[in-house]
Amino acid sequence: MGFKCGIIGLPNVGKSSLFNALLGLQKASSENYPFCTIEPNIGRVPIPDIRLKELSSINKSKNTINGQIEFVDIAGLVKGASKGEGLGNQFLSNIREVDAIIHVVRCFEDKNISHVYNRIDPISDIEIIDSELILSDISRIEKMLEKIKKSLKSSKDEHQINFTTLTKVKSELEKGNILNIKDLNDEESLVIKNSGLLSYKPLMYVANVDEDSIDKGNSFSKLVEGFSGKKNVNYVKISSKIEEELSSFDDQKEKEALMESLGIISSGLDTFITAGFELLNLITFFTSGPKESKAWTIPIGSSAPDAAGTIHSDFKKGFIAAEVINYKDLINAGGEANAKNLGLVKTQGKEYIIKDGDVVLFRFNV
């Protein structure tokens, strides 16, 4: 199962540089002009997790395999995208296919890199993108409501919840408001989820700063941080230019020397990737033994059989039980054998909901 985070923003804000840094490769074009990236670039990125390293060490695993998420570099949006400006329809379609949105905001000044509107104003940039997503959603809802109206004539009860919910959402979007999913009932939430509305996808703002602002940020990034706080949206600060440069080093010592010269203790990519993972509402469970230790990503609330199915469909089909221990208990016990002797490994059935950090051995029969 793939989980995609779409990286969006205006042209020339540093999206492709961030994408290059994530992959450690120069796959995405990042020239200084709008729409240099036309087709979305997609890359699978390992999720950093110290727990996996500890499990691999204690079990003396030959291989260690991190969980992964997908990042999609989507070409820059511009004002009018919802009406097709700047290849807007294509770009909005690409955004609709991702599970979460990472909005990169330019928080740096550089005379050599033009701004599409010739000024550095991060809040205005955010509002342009947000407005285009809302306008696109309003247009989408209007088309959906027209279809539902026809269906209401023949099967009113079946389609009434769709019509009522979408009408309410449209009314709020026209005011610039996005309803809080937590305030809606299960039926309404499901209607919104199935409608593919961009404004309701999980969202994170990324303030892209210059190298001098990596530590404390700057006046631009602080504006974004304050704005994200008011909207209750996740916020991360990063310098995509520096991260891209760091990722290009094959020699670890050279990389560390550059980091030291810039006063960087650790790469900001780990924080960024972890935040993207959390944005997708995922958790991690592990399988671990002498052969390999591996991290698996699943949605919060997944049952043991569903988790088993991420490994192989046969595991879910023939699920018998799951032997489960929390990773901390396993580490503290000094290994699986001691953990079993201490009664820390529990046998769970089909109703068990996997928790973040569980180490699991599935029993199945097909």
- Looking at domain 4-278, its CATH class is alpha beta
The pTM of this model reads 0.85
Domain 301-364 in CATH 3.40.50.300: no
Full 3-state SS string of the chain? CCCEEEEECCCCCCHHHHHHHHHCCCCCCCCCCCCCCCCCEEEEEECCCHHHHHHHHHCCCCEEECCEEEEEECCCCCCCHHHCHHHHHHHHHHHHCCCEEEEEEEECCCCCCCCCCCCCCHHHHHHHHHHHHHHHHHHHHHHHHHHHHHHHCCCHHHHHHHHHHHHHHHHHHHCCCCCCHHHCCHHHHHHHHHHCCHHHCCEEEEEEECHHHCCCCCHHHHHHHHHHHHHCCEEEEECHHHHHHHHCCCCHHHHHHHHHHHCCCCCCHHHHHHHHHHHCCEEEEEEECCCEEEEEEEECCCEHHHHHHHHCHHHHHCEEEEEEEEHHHHHHHCCHHHHHHCCCCEEECCCCECCCCEEEEEEECC
Residues of the chain with CATH 3.10.20.30: 301-364
Per-residue pLDDT of the chain (366 residues; tens, 9 = 90+): 568 999 999 888 998 889 888 887 444 434 444 444 445 688 888 888 999 999 999 999 999 999 888 898 887 766 765 565 544 566 778 888 899 999 999 999 988 887 878 889 999 999 999 998 999 899 999 999 998 888 776 666 668 888 999 999 999 999 988 888 777 888 888 999 889 899 999 999 999 999 889 888 999 999 999 999 999 999 999 999 998 888 887 777 888 888 888 778 777 888 898 899 989 999 999 999 999 999 999 999 999 999 999 999 999 999 999 999 999 999 999 998 999 999 999 999 999 999 999 999 999 987
Residues of the chain with CATH 3.40.50.300: 4-278
